[in-house]
Amino acid sequence: MTQWHWVCQHREKFILGQNTDIGAFTYINAKFGVTIEDEAQIGSHCAIYSKNTIDNTTGPVVIKTGALIGSHTVIFPGVTIGAGAKIGAGSVVKTDVPENQIWAGAPARPLK
C-alpha cells in the first residue's frame, strides 16, 4: 500500500504519469499492464484490472491524459479511457471510452 492508501500489484508493469491523483483504497492489478497518463484523476475505492480471474480475460488498461474516473468505478481488462473523458461514480467500464465523452452506469455507456 502506498502512503496515500492505494494498492498496485505487479508494479513492474505499471506506468504512472505526472500530476495524477489516485484516491484512497483504489486497487490496481497491472499484471498485463496499466498506464495512467498525465493529469488523470481516479476517485477513491476504484478497481482497475488488467486480468479478470472470473472469465480469464486479460489486457492492458490505459487511462489517457486528463481523464476523470469517479469513485467506486471498476475498469475491466483491455479498456482504454480516452483523453479528457469523464466516468461517473460507481460505473462498470467494459469497453473503450472515446476522448472527451461522459460515460456512466453499469455497464457504462455514453450520457446524452
pLDDT per position as a tens digit, 1-51:
677 799 999 999 999 999 999 999 999 999 999 999 999 999 999 999 999
Whether 16 is covered by a domain: the verdict is yes
Asked, for residue 4, whether it belongs to a domain, the answer is yes
User: Is 9 inside a domain boundary?
Assistant: yes
Domain that holds residue 13: 1-26
Number of compact structural domains in the chain? 1
What's the predicted TM-score (pTM) here? Answer: 0.94
98 within some domain = no
| β strands within the chain, DSSP E | 7-9, 14-16, 21-22, 27-29, 34-36, 41-42, 47-49, 51-52, 57-58, 61-63, 68-69, 74-75, 80-81, 86-87, 92-93, 102-105, 108-110
What is d(CA 95, CA 82) in angstroms, rounded to the nearest whole number?
A: 11
